[in-house]
Amino acid sequence: MGDLGGAATLLETARTVKADVPALWSYTALISLLLRHTKTIESAIIDRALETGQPAIFGPLIGWYARHLVRECSGAAAVALIERALACIVHAYPAWDVGIAAAEFGTQRDAARAQQLFACFAGATSHVHRASAALIDAHYERRFGSETLAAARAAEAQREFAAVHWDQYVLLAAPAVESTAANHITAVTLSKRERQVGELLIEGCTNRKIAQRLAVSEKTAEKHVAALFKALGASSRSQAAALLAKMSMEARD
């Protein structure tokens, strides 16, 4: 509902529950991470989650916490955490967050291990499983292999995640897409209207909200968004937002 203060209060309440339930602690910690309320994350929670040996409990938490560590310039700690988690995984499902993190910034050995573990997802019927395998391949290729293959697999991952509206994960594929799109992006010139629409996309506005903010019809807003996608070479709102953010950073540099 957008009430981050209320969410933080509920998280603090969850921490006071007198129960030894690893899932409760793990998902409380995960939600805290997603809300940038990281003071609720403690090493004991991570340890307890890993001790369960259940990917459904520790997978999402470890993946997102490792990314948090990287953002906080604690890359070595992130790598160590990933290695601990990979050692606990026998069956990949549903620990795709760990695999994605391993391929994204683990050692080459860890990234290769993730590829091996999640290769079985490539022919799965689930969008999420196929997307996870593709994204792991994309990050591995971006760092250790072919940029062309990385871009192709990242675009595949974005399509699969977008099909189930997993926008947070669509964004995870953006770096591999951006690496091959950089030359194109620097040459893009957007119209005044496209820049306005881009700013609203970055804010997370829907087409209806864009229409309201620009005082146009929703149909017209849809056309503006489509024109922006075409100009950027983007296939999703999340990818467009990521590319626009990159353009903004390059302009400041």
Which tens digits make up the pLDDT trace of 225-249? 998 888 877 777 766 776 776 666 5
Q: Is 100 helix (H, G, I), strand (E, B) or coil?
A: helix
Domain boundary among 102, 121, 140: 121
Measured in whole angstroms, how far is the alpha carbon of residue 181 from the centre of its chain?
A: 18
Q: Is 149 helix (H, G, I), strand (E, B) or coil?
A: helix
Structural domain contains residue 135: no
Identify the domain containing residue 109 by its residue range.
1-121
Determine the pLDDT at residue 61: 77
Determine the pLDDT at residue 182: 47
Does 16 share its domain with 115? yes
Does 7 share its domain with 117? yes
- Written as one letter, the residue type at 152 is A
Least confident of 32-46, 90-104, 159-173: 32-46
Domain boundary among 77, 97, 121: 121
Find the CATH number of the domain harbouring 213: 1.10.10.10
Does 107 share its domain with 31? yes
Determine the pLDDT at residue 1: 40
Determine the pLDDT at residue 223: 92
Determine the pLDDT at residue 172: 65
Does 107 share its domain with 28? yes
184 or 86: whose pLDDT is higher?
A: 86
What does the pLDDT average to over 41-58? Answer: 73
Identify the top-confidence range among 104-118, 158-172, 182-196: 104-118
- How far apart are alpha carbons 89 and 85 in whole angstroms? 7
Report whether pLDDT(220) > 90.
yes
Structural domain contains residue 176: no
Structural domain contains residue 133: no
Q: Report which of 109, 113, 159 is spatially closest to residue 135, judged by C-alpha positions.
A: 159
Domain boundary among 121, 152, 168: 121
165: left (phi over 0), alpha (psi -120 to 50) or beta: left
Does 115 share its domain with 9? yes
Does 105 share its domain with 215? no
Burial class (CB in 10 A: 0-12, 13-18, 19+), 112: middle
Determine the pLDDT at residue 38: 57
What does the pLDDT average to over 182-203? Answer: 73
Does 2 share its domain with 110? yes
Average pLDDT, the chain: 75
**pTM attached to this predicted model:** 0.58
Contact 156, 120 (CB under 8 A): no
Number of folded domains that form the chain: 2
107 or 17: whose pLDDT is higher?
A: 107
Residue 12 tokens read as 């603090």
Report whether pLDDT(20) > 60.
no
67: left (phi over 0), alpha (psi -120 to 50) or beta: alpha
Structural domain contains residue 12: yes
The count of other CB atoms within 10 Å of the CB of residue 84 is 15
Structural domain contains residue 138: no
| pLDDT tens-digit readout, 79-108 | 888 888 888 886 666 777 888 888 888 899
